[in-house]
Structure 1
Amino acid sequence: MYDPIKATLMNPDWITAHGGLFLVAFIIFAETGLLVGFFLPGDSLLFISGVVIAGSSKVHFPTENHIVNLIFWIILITIAAIIGNFVGYWFGKKTGPLLFERQDTWLIKKKHIHQAHEFYEKKGGGAVIFARFLPIVRTFAPIVAGVVKMDAKKFAFYNVLGAIAWVTSLIVLGFVLGENVWVKEHLEVIIIGLVLITTAPVLLKMIFGKKKATDIV
C-alpha cells in the first residue's frame, strides 16, 4: 500500500528543503523514543541521509568538507538515537505493568510490546543492539527494558553501542553509494530492498509464530 508520509520522507530533495538532516535527527529520536514513532522508516531514512551528505550541492553544514560533514551528522544523529532510547527506557520504567494490562489502542498494541519482550528475553542485553535493526521492535525494546528494570548502566552501554552501529553503518553505506549513478537512478528500488531486509525477521516471526500457535491448538 502506498504511504504518502513514507514516500515523502524517502525523497532527498524534500528532506533538504524541510529542515534537512536536523529533521532526520528528530525523526530518529521519535522512532526510538516515542510510541508514535514506531511506523517511521528509520533504516531507509539513515541510508537516504548518507546519500544527501554525499551530494555535492545538498549539504554544506557545518563545513564544505564532505568527510567532516559525514562525521558531524553521524555523531548528531547517533546522539538523537541514544537519547530516544533513554526516553523509551524511562517511560517503560515509570509505566511498568500498565502497558501489558491496558486495552489495545490505535497507538499502543500489546502484541508489539509482547513481541519486543520475547525478543528481549531471548537476546538479553544484546537485544538493545539487535533491536536497532528491526522496525517496530526498536521502538518498544527500550520500553520493555525499562519495564523489566534492566540495570541502567548496562542499558546505557548497549544503547550507545547499538546506536553507533546502526546509525554509522547505514549512513556510511548511503554516503559511499550516494554518488553512484546506478544508485541515484534506482534509489526507490534500493529503499524497497532495505525495507524488505529489515522487516523480514519481524514478518517471518509473525507468520511462523501464528502457524505454531495454530498447530498447538
Structure 2
Amino acid sequence: MSGALQAVDPTSGSSLLAAFGALAVLVALFAESGLLVVGFFLPGDTLLLPAGVLCATGDGSGPHLSLWQVMLCAAVGSVAGAQLGFLIGRHGGRTALARTRSGRLRSAAARGEALLRRYGYRKAIVLGRFVPVVRTVLGPLAGMLDVPTRTFTVWQIVGSLLWSQSMVLAGYWLGAAVPGIEHYLWLLVAAAVVVSLLPLLFRSRKDSPPG
C-alpha cells in the first residue's frame, strides 16, 4: 500500500482516480477551490472528465467509479472549498496577497478582480468557476473585496454545481458513447486543458493592444 501511495502523482487526475477513486475528486476540488498554496497545482477539469468516463467504463482496464458518488464528491468538494477560500480571504487574505512573491498568483488575482468588477458579483462568481486558476483565487478575492457573504454563498453554490456536475456528466456521456475511450484518457485530459484555457486566451487577445 505504501508503495502505491508513493507512486501517486498529485498533479495527475488519472493517478489520483486510480489510487483513491471518488474520494480523490472531493479532496482535489476542495483544495483547488479553497487553498491558494496548492490549488494551482491540482487538477480540476482534468480530473472531472476522466472521472465521468470511468463511471461509464473502467471494466478491467481501469477503476470503475460510481456516478452518484463522483457527482456528490464533486459537489461537496467544490462548494466547501470555495466557501473556505472566501473565509480565508475575509480574514487575512489581503495580508497573504501582499506578502506573496508569486507573479502567477498576483496575475490571477488581478484577472479575478477585473471579472468581479466587469460582470458584477453574481455573474462573475458563476463564470469564474469555469476558468482555471481564476476559480482558485475567486473565493479568497471575493472575501478580500467584502462581497456580501450571502451573495457569494448563493452564487458560488450555483456556479460550483453547474461546473462540477456538467464536467462529470460530459465525461460520462463520452464514456458511454465512445467505445474504448478509457484507453485514451490522456487525450481527453489534453483536450480538457485546451478547452479550459480558451477563456484565458480569448481574454488575453481582447485585452492586448492592436498592432
Q: If the TM-score is normalised by the length of the shorter chain, which range does it land in?
A: 0.7 to 0.9
Question: Is the contact between residue 32 and residue 40 of structure 2 (CA under 8 Å) also seen in structure 1?
Answer: yes
Count of aligned pairs between the two proteins: 198
- RMSD, matched Cα: 2.5
Counterpart of 1:136 in structure 2 is 133
Query: Partner letter of residue 35 of structure 2?
Result: L
TM-score normalised by L of structure 2: 0.82
Does structure 1 residue 42 correspond to structure 2 residue 61? no
> Quick one: percent identity of the two aligned structures?
25
Structure 2 residue aligned with 1:117, among 109, 113, 116? 113
In the alignment, structure 2 segments of 5+ residues that lack a partner are 1-7
TM-score, structure 1 length as denominator?
0.80
User: Cα deviations across residues 2-32 of structure 1 (Å, max 9, x unaligned)?
Assistant: xx957x6242xx3344111101210011000
Distance 1:56 1:38 in 2: 28
**For residues 146-181 of structure 1, what are the alpha-carbon distances to aligned partners after superposition, in whole Å with 9 as ceiling and x for unaligned?**
011111111111111111111110101111211422
- Displacement of 1:185 after TM fit? 4.5
After superposition, the Cα gap between the structure-2 partners of 1:182 and 1:76, relative to the gap in structure 1 and judged at 3 Å, is closer
Change (3 A) 1:172 1:98: same
Deviation at 1:88, TM superposition (A): 0.7
| Partner amino acid, structure 2, of 1:153 | R
- The 5 Å alignment of 1:24-35 reads 24-35=25-36
Structure 2 equivalent of residue 145 of structure 1: 142
Q: Match for 1:174 among 171, 175, 181?
A: 171
Letter in 1 for 2:31: A
The question of whether the paired residues in 1 share the 8 Å contact of 2:17 and 2:51 is answered with no
**Which segment is superposed worse, 129-138 or 51-60?**
51-60
Distance 1:56 1:188 in 2: 15
Distance 1:49 1:140, change over 3 A: same
